[in-house]
Structure 1
Amino acid sequence: MGILSIILLLWWLTIGKERGYFSKLKTIFDFKPLLLMIFFFAFSYLSLFWTENFENAKIALNYYKYYWIMVPVLFTSLTKKEAIIGLYIFILSIGGYSLFSILIYLNIWHINQNATANPRGILSYSIVTSYMAIGFISSLFISYYNKSTVIKIVFSTTAFLCFVGIFINNGRAGQLSFFITLGILFIVYRKYSFKPNILISIILVFTASFYLLNYFNKIDRFKNGLYELQNLEKNNFNGSWGERAYMWHAGAYIIKENPILGTGVGDNIDEFIDYTKTHPSEATWLRSFHNQHLDTLTRYGIVGYLLFLSSILLLLYYLKNLKLFFGLGIVFFSTTFFSSLADILLLMKPYNNVFMLIFLLLSIIVYKSRNTKATN
């Protein structure tokens, strides 16, 4: 990512004046969703003024460093058509990764410690499963809205690969976000959802999903998680879901103490460590909230969290008249939102950069659709 960013920046600086990219920089400030997102990142740097642990702050802010190149270079140089192609390529790449994961599951491709029980490839299974959920539903949207037979076949194949990939991997948060996102889409498109062919398709997807969960022995993992939640006091917040529940308790306490501006970008884990001293449990060894929402709220408070969330909601609002891309936006941000309840996805590579890339591509598409003077 570092090498690519340097190449892009040098390319942009070299031809930017000739092609008018520099003059287009002001358009970034005309597009409110992107402006709000920039305000959020600026606020995260501003929070250095009320944080004490600069080492932790440096680590957290390091995940945003390429955004300052991605935003001006991509937003000023890409056309609407190129942004659409970029989205399609991203979805196809998930299909490719799904095939990679399936080959590991079938014991055809061998890599590191991967096995049929956890064929995650080179990424964390929490990221992989979320990718697969995004890839499956997005591929269905692209197949549905595209008239090209070739594209329909390609993305239908991608959807099939991603669908299998969702359930052979171990990301329970990604699997749950998949079902929740389907439910949200059912509500958003409710006037179409009860049409016989669509309703039958939805029923088939849910039936096949639960069948595959059982077939790939993933249901037991959910049962274990529920057992941990039901026995929090008995187990003293032990286990994966128990530890996450402990972080909810700790996070709520820290937010209550610093509700408006948060602890600052570097101090939330220090505050958590202080909390563990008076609230002993099996989970005190943790040094991550395993929850993007808690992490953001504890670092930046309500102000920072609302800046971040409002940028996404406003982008979706702007997309509402672009049927395909509105659907793709809901799929990506909904899956990310709910998967982030169990993992700090935006502080995990490569999801942090992918998130900003998709936000930018959708921003370019809607901005250049709204602006008739822009080159499409």
Structure 2
Amino acid sequence: MNNYFKNININQTFYNNYINYFIILYSFCLPISRAGVSLSIVLIFLFWILEADFKRKFYEIKINYFIMAIFIFIIYSLIAVLWSSDKIFALEYVKKYYHFLIIPIIFTSLKKEYIDKVFSAFLFGMLISEITSYGIFFELWTKEGVSPNDPSPFMDHTNYSTYLAFTVFILMHKIIHTDDLKWKLAYSIFFLFSTSNLFLNGGRTGQFSFLITLCVIGFLNFKNKLKAVVLFISLGTTIFVSAYNLSPVFKDRFDYFLHDVEVMINEKDFSNSFSLRVALWISGLEASKHNLIFGSGIGDERENANYILQKFNISNDNFKQETENSIDFHNMYVQYIVQLGIVGLIVILLIFYLFFKLDIRDKVYRNLLIIFLILYFCHSMLGNSFHINQSMVLFALFSSIFITISKYEKLKLS
């Protein structure tokens, strides 16, 4: 009998070790390979099942409010299929949320000693991505569909800029808290490498999210708040001015943004990049009033938005989707208040609130949690981040890491 239980423990340790190896692989593949991410998810799930120990796992999941909020969001989205006109499209839409199921798996199986390794694997993946990006920028090599003027090698520039922004902040903390001089120098070079790359590509979302987060995190970490505001606004301004003068891509994109805002205000022209998004947001908020509590359903966003879009002289060619009535409002909060109503929006905000309220006392991890939350919140204001693969897996990985850190800190205190 003793040998039987001993064998069970050996098997569980064996499977758990491989789960942790594949979580590291998942983190490494995040910036560079969608195929690698998919393979990692399959392997993690398979070994999680083989590991068994379900009583402990389900108990840990059950008492974690953040994971419960994620489940409520997925279940409510499935229920919303019932009042969606194109149920096949709606089910396909909801199916993408399987990425969030990795959260409870990582939470119940990631070992404490592997947490830093997961961060390092992500940084290594970003390093490969950035080397590729710089090679494209300097025309040392080419990649199909990627221009030297916007060198985002493995994903769209909006997501890439957010990945870069978070990478810069991770490296900032590595530089501050690493004692080894060689590693401090290596992280400093990587930091400059990443900050430059952030402003070389065309993703304004990550750039402005970075500057906002820089000011907020500085304010939170200094006792002298006035000094913090002055210091980090000065730093942000210096980075902005340098990027504007040194990066032609950033200069062109920022000048275009100012022109876009000017013609939107003065000429009521909503046909350009940012102004088109503003028109979508206004249309979505107006459309949400028709089904305010439970939403219009998934894939029926256009139903009550058409007349507003026509007011802005926006043609349907801008919104060719897989189903006739679907619109991407390029804002997660607007998207879900239209699809799922106030109920759905409350669930989304609850997820962010519970994430923010995680009890993490380690200053570095607490800072990184707040940084990630601000970056992702800003990112979601300019895209449907809970339905874009690269955004979803980024949230899935780091939310699961932070709730795992919180779990281990509670165990240490108990």
Normalising by structure 1, report the TM-score.
0.88
**1:225-304 equivalences in 2 (<5 Å):** 225-232=257-264, 234=267, 236-273=269-306, 275-276=308-309, 279=311, 281-282=313-314, 284-287=316-319, 288-304=328-344
Name the residue aligned to 2:238: 207
Q: Does 1:357 align with 2:403?
A: no
Question: Is the contact between residue 138 and residue 331 of structure 1 (CA under 8 Å) also seen in structure 2?
Answer: no
Of 191, 204, 214, 2:223 maps to 191
| SS at 2:144 equivalent | coil
Structure 1 residue 94: Cα displacement: 2.2
Structure 1 residue 329: Cα displacement: 1.3
Of 91, 114, 117, 1:82 maps to 114
Structure 1 residue 202: Cα displacement: 6.9
- Give the Cα–Cα distance (whole angstroms) in 2 for the partners of residues 279 and 26 of structure 1: 53
Pair 1:183–1:200, CA change in 2 (3 A): closer
Of 136, 140, 165, 2:197 maps to 165
Pair 1:340–1:63, CA change in 2 (3 A): same
Name the residue aligned to 1:341: 381
Structure 1 residue 22: Cα displacement: 4.4
Structure 1 residue 204: Cα displacement: 4.5
Structure 1 residue 66: Cα displacement: 3.1
Pair 1:219–1:110, CA change in 2 (3 A): same
The one-character-per-residue Cα deviations of 1:305-345 (angstroms, maximum 9, x if unpaired) are 22222222222222452211111112222112112222223
- Give the Cα–Cα distance (whole angstroms) in 2 for the partners of residues 257 and 58 of structure 1: 23
Name the residue aligned to 2:24: none
| SS at 2:294 equivalent | coil
Higher RCO structure (Cα 8 Å, ≥6 apart): 1
Question: Is the contact between residue 168 and residue 216 of structure 1 (CA under 8 Å) also seen in structure 2?
Answer: yes
Of 363, 367, 371, 1:327 maps to 367
Q: Give the residue type in structure 2 aligned to 1:12.
A: W
| SS at 1:334 equivalent | helix
Structure 1 residue 30: Cα displacement: 1.1
Name the residue aligned to 2:34: none
Structure 1 residue 150: Cα displacement: 4.8
Question: Is the contact between residue 31 and residue 367 of structure 1 (CA under 8 Å) also seen in structure 2?
Answer: no
- Give the Cα–Cα distance (whole angstroms) in 1 for the partners of residues 233 and 263 of structure 2: 34
- Give the Cα–Cα distance (whole angstroms) in 2 for the partners of residues 368 and 282 of structure 1: 52
Question: Is the contact between residue 56 and residue 267 of structure 1 (CA under 8 Å) also seen in structure 2?
Answer: no
Pair 1:190–1:50, CA change in 2 (3 A): farther
- Give the Cα–Cα distance (whole angstroms) in 1 for the partners of residues 178 and 338 of structure 2: 43
| Number of corresponding residues | 368
- Give the Cα–Cα distance (whole angstroms) in 2 for the partners of residues 141 and 329 of structure 1: 12
| Structure 2 unaligned residues grouped into runs of 5+ | 1-36, 320-327
Of 40, 64, 68, 1:4 maps to 40
Structure 1 residue 143: Cα displacement: 2.4
Structure 1 residue 49: Cα displacement: 2.3
Question: Is the contact between residue 105 and residue 119 of structure 1 (CA under 8 Å) also seen in structure 2?
Answer: yes
Q: Does 1:176 align with 2:190?
A: no
Structure 1 vs Structure 2 CA RMSD = 2.6
- Give the Cα–Cα distance (whole angstroms) in 1 for the partners of residues 336 and 74 of structure 2: 11
**1:63-74 equivalences in 2 (<5 Å):** 63-68=96-101, 70-74=102-106
Structure 1 residue 67: Cα displacement: 2.5
- Give the Cα–Cα distance (whole angstroms) in 2 for the partners of residues 284 and 246 of structure 1: 13
| SS at 1:321 equivalent | coil
- Give the Cα–Cα distance (whole angstroms) in 2 for the partners of residues 23 and 320 of structure 1: 22
Name the residue aligned to 2:61: 28
| Structure 1 unaligned residues grouped into runs of 5+ | none
- Give the Cα–Cα distance (whole angstroms) in 1 for the partners of residues 202 and 127 of structure 2: 18
- Give the Cα–Cα distance (whole angstroms) in 2 for the partners of residues 332 and 104 of structure 1: 28
Pair 1:252–1:33, CA change in 2 (3 A): same
- Give the Cα–Cα distance (whole angstroms) in 2 for the partners of residues 281 and 238 of structure 1: 8
Normalising by structure 2, report the TM-score.
0.81
| SS at 1:286 equivalent | helix
| SS at 2:293 equivalent | coil
Name the residue aligned to 2:132: 100
The one-character-per-residue Cα deviations of 1:92-146 (angstroms, maximum 9, x if unpaired) are 3223322221221111121113232111112101111111111112210232234
Pair 1:149–1:305, CA change in 2 (3 A): farther
Which sits farther off after the overlay, 244-253 or 364-373?
364-373
Structure 1 residue 148: Cα displacement: 4.2
Percent of aligned pairs sharing the same letter = 20
Question: Is the contact between residue 2 and residue 66 of structure 1 (CA under 8 Å) also seen in structure 2?
Answer: no
